[in-house]
Amino acid sequence: MASEIEVEKNFESIPKHRVRRRKRQFDYENQDDPIINAQENYKIEFFYHLVDTAINSSEQRFSQLQHHNSYFCFLYHIYELKDGNSIILASCKDLETILTDGESSGINSLELCDEISVVCSV
């Protein structure tokens, strides 16, 4: 990746200085040692954070896609529903219920059912 963006692959070393330590109040507290190695610091502070963010974002997007797919899945297979007008009507009514906000509806289920039936017959 570094060679693709024309950046040096070597890490500059962190200047060595006295490591500050806090006095622990309790014996069960763990002592956190700072990371001296620049590569390890990069890996822990940047790379792992970036990978975690990418994984969480993709999981969220796929779950949202699966959620939307459950609403619109009947539209993917409308040619298989040529004889199932009642199935199309039930799916259209469900979609109308999902897309209703308060009193306003985004679609009319009967009109959508008629349009899908026309497309299926073509």
The phi and psi torsions of 105 (rounded to 5 degrees) equal -115, 140
Measure the CA–CA gap between 31 and 24, rounded to whole angstroms.
Answer: 8
pLDDT value at residue 38? 82
SS3 100: strand
Q: Which tens digit of pLDDT belongs to each residue from 6-30?
A: 777 776 665 566 656 666 676 666 6
Which amino acid is located at 44 in the chain?
I
Q: Which tens digit of pLDDT belongs to each residue from 35-75?
A: 778 888 888 888 999 999 999 999 999 999 999 988 888 88
SS3 9: coil
- Looking at 13-108, list the stretches that DSSP marks H as alpha helix, in order from N- to C-terminal side: 38-42, 48-76, 85-98
